[in-house]
Chains A and B, each alone.
Chain A
Amino acid sequence: MKNSWALKVSSLGKIHGVPDLESLSDTGPDAGTAKSATTGSIVAAWDVSFEVSPGEALGVIGESGSGKSTVMRCVAGDQTSTTGEVFLQSVDHGRTNVLDLDPSRRRGLRVADLSVVYQDPAEGLRLNVTAGGNIAEALTAAGWRHFGRIRERAAELLERTEVPLSRMDDLVGTFSGGMRQRVQLAKALANEPPVVLLDEPTTGLDASVAAGVLDLIRNLLEETGVAAVVVSHDFAVIEMLTTRCVVMNHGRIVEAGLTDRLLEDPHHPYSQRLVGAARA
């Protein structure tokens, strides 16, 4: 089971401003800030490394501003990282750092190698397009041409994510938040990517709706064998979806471990505060 990762992130870093060494020494958990007092640069993420295996979900937890979403966006290709390497097993058997690919090839990875589910469905979907149309976009990008088969596959995906088929031809903009999130999941899974990144997938939804979406995600992760990275500030989400997680604080990973261990026996002072606050 060693070296069977689907996604490997190595020493990823993102600095807004001058990428110099000075900014690194006066930022981070010990400095208590991500902004360098000497250079004014913001070290949004630094030295972030992790691996995720097929069928495994890794959590990334931390307060807002800790760098979680930056890491996710750099891995997804929505942001350019300052340094680091990202490998996907599905790309050249994991031998090519996908950060070195030219932009069009990089964008192409989002078709079938790596999907993202955003907190805001408007980022992952086009709201002025129907639910079926949004999924069709993903399928045609992967080379699907037969209209009937595309409809069939779209219907199958919507059924799987519990979206009523009667809504298939309605604009996503007319959907509720929870339903939009389900369509986003359907689209993300359309081409059966080996890796899915989920950024706060239930944040902002009503509690009962969030619980339903969470159940759905959990079932999908279990049933598809996809490798998932779940970014969340919410321990309940991390606990339900992941077996391992990393804790981020001021742009750095301060602790990594089995999720139950991190919740019951957090070591780093920041993790202890975070868990303590969640339990209170």
Chain B
Amino acid sequence: MNTSTSLVYLIALPLAGAAALLLGGRRTDKWGHLLATALSASSFAVGLYQLSAMLGRSTEQRAVTQKLFSWIAVGNFNIDAALLLDQLSICFVLLITGVGTLIHIYSISYMEHDENRRRFFAYLNLFIAAMLLLVLGNSYLNLYVGWEGVGLASYLLIGFWNQKPAYATASKKAFIMNRVGDMGLSFAIMIAFATLGTTTFAGIAEVAPQASKAALTAIGIMLLVAATGKSAQFPLQAWLGDAMAGPTPVSALIHAATMVTAGVYLIVRSHFIFDLAPTAQLLVVIVGAITLLLGALIGTAKDDIKKALAASTMSQIGYMVLGAGLGPAGYAFAIMHLLTHGFFKASMFLGAGSVMHGMNDEVNMRKFGNLRKFMPITFVTFALGYLAIIGVPPFAGFYSKDAIIETAFNAGGVKGVILGSVALLGAAITAFYMSRVMILTFTSKARWDDDAHPHESPALMWIPIAILAVGSVASGFLFTRGHALVNWLTPVVGEHTGEHEELLAPIVVSGLALLAVVIGVAIAVIKYQLAEVENVAPENVSGLTRFVRKDLGQDALNEALFMRPGIVLTEVAEQLDVKVIDGAVCGVANMAIGSGSTLRRTQTGFARSYAAFILIGAVALIAGIWVVTQ
């Protein structure tokens, strides 16, 4: 495989930025954000350079590696700090640095009045570096470092305003639920090493065919656990909604475009395991299908614009996971949806940030309305993203989502019918709740608070949004032209062989999907555009609505299953420690003290009693000797 010496700069540049801003402290306040943006942009430039170099090589020569140094080497556990850039990771590199740089630019203006803007940019750079390490690592352990690194950056950024206890709690929740997922990744690495003797992607891909199905299934399931944690998939999805506590650019970058899609990356990257472990693969599609419905349902009940978008992210990643679980047929489409989603969701999040910027940081959509008059650019860009996500042709989401729905239908048998129907249903619900967001915010009657003075955001904010909006219009079309992305990724993820009989013709699937979208939009228009909307959420609603509003009981479930038993366990442990273990130790000590004070009573101080003891002792001794010698 080709080697490169410049891969490390991709990571080193933003990492240096983070280090400079964090170590430099207040001295860098004036220009820190510019440095961070410049370093992120230069990392993007390195990425472009790598792409051009890659395009210049023949298909099988495209992947390059760079070995930095031997990181951990003990016995036959040899981990190099080494990077791998292939067709799959270059997609991510460009997404991360490209969208990342745009969001840096946006944040310059968005965070202008925050006294800790420098720290914010340091965290952003740290995130970019960690995320790049995640997608560039050549082994699971290298990936793990980036995996937890993005978790740390996400923790720091969600808790950026951690003087508010609720925000601090949200960041802690995100980190801990992510750690549960990370545990899965740890297990996967341990199992891989114990059974296959290696943890590099190339090494495992080579030996995986020799391994038993049981081992591969175990690794696959553990990787899935890791993916559910990082990508907010069922059952570890509960943290994403709360993560919206972070500043909006963070939600756009980390909790929509890049970090949360790492799970999809992990599954696609591990295709050599999943392809050989059908059970694990089945679990992947089940998780994806459940989450895409779960997220969509949660999205219908959210009044907080960011939380509605977060629920939608969860649901869209459900689509990607579903796609990734469909094997070689779906990998490329999962990645395609991931990329298009990166564009349109980031643009919508930034749009939401722009709205909040103009509305005194209000997030409740019931207090928006009619903003298209006042924020035309934000409206247009948001609308483009909206059309993309609900899957209207020829916007990006149409191509990618349609492809996943189609592949799901073609998965074969009952499985295909169920998955396809779920994906279709999800598309309808998506159309409904996204239209709801759109209508409540931009087109319905104004329901503002009295002190609201909506205004368009400055150019530094809307230009990045506009660029992303262009991406959400054009990317789908570009990716599918002549199967560009599918062909591009084939050398990495393998070719789709063994055609399933097509259950439905592609044109029928597209028709059904469009029908679903029309139904969803229609319901939303009837409910929100044509009817009057209250500016507080109505209370007299059905139990089902209330259940959905409470995120389908996800927090209550976690609390009942883990938190309360956990608290009881720690209490038991504490009592056990104080009462039983330390009690036993102190008991021994007290016994010694007690026996001492009992014996002390014999020491009366009277000479005669001592004499008596001597006498008794002597007699007993003689008697003893006599008995023994007899």
A binds B: no
